[in-house]
Amino acid sequence: MFSKIKSLLVTALLAVFITACGVNPTATAALTAPPQGATPTPSQPSATFTPLAPSPTPEPIAATVNDAGISLAEYTAEMQRLQASLQETGKTLAPADQQKQVLDELVNETLLEAASSKDGFKLDVAALQKRLDDLTTRAGGADKLAGWMKNNFYTPDSLKIALRRDAAAAWERDKITSSAPTTADQVHLRQMLLLDQDTATRYYNQLQAGADFATLAYVVDPDTGGDLGWAPKGYLLLPEIEQAAFGLQVGKYSPIIKTAYGYQIIFLVERDSQHPLSTDARGKIQQQLMDSWLKEQSSQAKIQILVPQP
């Protein structure tokens, strides 16, 4: 992808060769024409030139993220792994979407790895070897690991690169998401989800006449009585339901809310400004923190994609 063109003048090249070979003045004189009338001595030593070693060819790059490069080989292997996974699961993804998914993941990992280095993460040779040994053990031995690497498009070198990058990225992720709170302002909700407006109106009129919400909710949903449990802001799937929930007073129900799922009426059972977050709810907040961090870092980074779009 990249190429380097070198051109040297004949005289400059000759000078470099002489200097590189350590030619002394006597040997240099042998390169000039002998004086007129002089007879060259056959046994006179002549200069021996050793060709300069060619400059190493730069590794092809698929993308750059600030000062870091993502190799074409790594990008190609990730594409192969994604395509193998799609084939195995029977899923389809357009070529442009495949490329975006792979590049997004590689760019994100590179941003996390760079941040971890600035934040003090270090993985020495011994620690990397331990990760490799653990992977070998989990695979069932060196032969099994070699087979797994072949099937998953890894070389010994690329596997070490992946292990190092994964360790750095995981460390930085933990650092970023550790700031997620363990408690939050939450609402405990119950709902009635109805498929058509006429049915929803009938149940709503019963509520208006004084019927108990929980009793009606168990008629609609005999298994759970429409209990949605506790939810912080940003956790509920539907923003219109969340807006209504956090606007209700305890013991009150909402008007009929038309959503993508049908017609819903929600009831605020209780509210707690410092209710402990469930593992799932805290995980969603952590993901929001991670997404926000990546979005900010990507907007500030100099990212160049060098592979052509499919």
Digitized pLDDT (tens) for each residue of the chain, 310 residues in all: 333 333 332 233 233 333 333 333 333 333 334 444 444 444 444 444 445 555 567 889 999 999 999 999 999 999 999 999 999 999 999 999 999 999 999 999 999 999 999 999 999 999 999 999 999 999 999 999 999 999 999 999 999 999 999 999 999 999 999 999 999 999 999 999 999 999 999 999 999 999 999 999 999 999 999 999 999 998 998 999 999 999 999 999 999 999 999 999 999 999 999 999 999 999 999 999 999 999 999 999 999 999 999 8
Are 28 and 69 in the same domain?
no
Q: Are 71 and 109 in contact (CB under 8 A)?
A: no
120 shares its domain with 190? no
Cα–Cα dist 43/40, whole Å: 9
- What pLDDT sits at residue 19? 35
Residues 141 and 191 in one domain: no
For residues 159 and 244, state if they share a domain.
Answer: no
Assess whether 70 and 125 both reside in one domain.
Answer: yes
pLDDT of residue 46: 42
What is the reported pLDDT for 45? Answer: 44
Count of the separate structural domains present in the chain: 3
Q: Give domain status of residue 192, yes or no.
A: yes
End-to-end CA distance of the chain: 16
- 150 shares a domain with 86: yes
Residues 6+ apart with CB under 8 A from 261: 193, 238
pLDDT attached to residue 59: 87
By residue range, what is the domain housing residue 27? Answer: 1-35+45-58
Q: Do the domain assignments include residue 282? A: no
Same domain? For 208 and 266 the reply is: yes
Q: What's the CATH code of the domain at 74?
A: 1.10.4030.10
Q: Are residues 171 and 266 both part of a single domain? A: no
Are 31 and 107 within one domain?
Answer: no
* Residue with tokens 């940003």, as numbered in its chain: 234
CB 264 within 8 A of CB 191: yes
Residue 295 lies in a domain: no
Is the domain of 93 the same as that of 150? yes
Does residue 116 fall inside a structural domain?
yes
Helix-helix angle 72-89:156-177, to 10 degrees? 80
What pLDDT score was predicted for residue 54? 59
Tell me the CATH number at 263. Answer: 3.10.50.40
In a domain, 290, yes or no: no
Predicted pLDDT at 23: 37
Q: Is residue 288 part of a domain?
A: no
Q: Which two tokens stand for residue 2?
A: 């990249």
296 within a domain of the structure (yes/no): no
Cross-strand bridge partners of residue 63:
70, 305
Do 203 and 265 lie in one domain? The reply is yes
pTM greater than 0.85 = no
238, burial (CB in 10 Å: exposed 0-12, middle 13-18, buried 19+): middle
Report if residue 71 sits inside a domain: yes
Residues 157 and 206 in one domain: no
